[in-house]
Amino acid sequence: MPTGIPEEATLQESQGWFARVRPPTLPWDGRVILLIHGWTGDENSMSFFAHKMPVHSWIVSPRGPLDCPAGGYAWGIATKGERPDVNKFVTQANDIVERIHGWVPDYTHGTRLDVIGFSQGAAMAYTICLNTSPVKIAPLAGYLPIGYVDLCVDREFSGLQLFIAHNVDDEMLPIEESIKARDLFISRGATVQFSQSTGGHKLSAASLRELTAFMRD
C-alpha cells in the first residue's frame, strides 16, 4: 500500500480541540487512524508516523487539551508525583471520539478506527479500547493508566489487534509497563504482537518497520 503525508494535511478545529488532519489521496478505505502524542507533544509530534501511514486512510493527530508545566500539551497531569488515574484518561478518550466527526466529515460510530499512541499517548490508546471498538491499536513505549486493570475485570478484547513496542533500555518508562499490558490483553482475548529493541524512550528502526507492516491493512 502506498504511504506518505501530502501537503493536504491541515490544522483543523472540532469543538474547541485542534488536530492536524490529512485526508486520503486515494479512494477512502473507510478507516480513520488516530495518532496520539505523548507528554509535552502537540499535533505535529506524530508527523513522523503519519509519513508511514497508508494514503487511502484519514490521518488525525489531535493536540492534547491540557497545558504541560514543561511546555507543550498533555492528556493528563501528574499530581503528587503520580500519573493521572484511568478515569481522567477515560474522559479525554471519550472527548476525542466525540470530536472525530468534526475532523472527518464521513465519520460515524461504525467507521473503522485504528490508534497509534506514544508514551502518554499509548495510555490514551489503551483507554480508547474501554468504550470504543478500534480494530488495531499500537501503544508505543507506553503504560496502562492507574486503575485500568480494575475496569477490565469483566471485559473481553477478542477481535482487537495490538502492536506493542518498547525498548529494553528505556529509562523513562521501563519495558515492564508494556509487558504488563501485553499479558493483560492476551488474557482478555486480544491478538498481540510484541516488539522490543534498544534505543531509550523512542521507537527503534526495527520496531518502526514492524509497525508500518502492522498498519498496512
pLDDT in tens, 19-64: 999 999 899 999 999 999 999 999 999 999 998 999 999 999 999 9
* Domains of the chain by residue range: 10-214
CATH level 3 topology of 10-214: Rossmann fold (3.40.50)
Question: Closest Cα to residue 116, out of 31, 35, 61?
Answer: 35
DSSP state of 152: G
Helices and strands (H, E) in the chain, number of each type: 5, 10
Express each pLDDT in 64-103 by its tens digit: 999 999 899 999 998 877 899 999 999 999 999 999 999 9
Please name the residues in contact with 144: beta carbons below 8 A apart, sequence gap of 6 or more.
Answer: 86, 123, 126, 177, 180, 181, 184
- Map grid coordinates 475496569 to a residue: 151
Full-model pTM: 0.95
